Amino acid sequence: MAGKFEIYKDKAGEFRFRLKAGNGQTILAGEGYKAKSGCMNGVESVKKNAPDDARYERKTTESGKYRFNLKSGNNQVIGTSESYETEKARDGGIESVKKNAPDASIVDTTESGEK
């Protein structure tokens, strides 16, 4: 099963996206956007930048967990991972984004139906 981007509205009424792997696990989440067009631009930026390893910022949290950010060409964060227990698991998450994002379908839950 291929990966997919889900577009949704959060409690504040902002548009957000999350990238899910084929197994349904969320592997990357975007920030909130006031307009759906901004959110869709974020999805396209993830698709474009995901294959480039240099776009990933690998981080360790204060509590000793591991996470990553995916950045665009202008160094803006366009997506953030969940927290992982190990560096190896985090790096596996990065590989999953690289594999799933470029060809992922888009499911817009703010409407009825898929794009």
Domains and CATH numbers, the chain: 4-108 (2.30.29.80)
Distance from C-alpha of 87 to C-alpha of 19, rounded to nearest angstrom:
20
Q: What is the reported pLDDT for 111? A: 75
pLDDT in tens, the chain (115 residues): 689 999 999 999 999 999 999 899 999 999 999 999 999 999 999 999 999 999 999 999 999 999 999 999 999 999 999 999 999 999 999 999 999 999 999 999 997 444 4
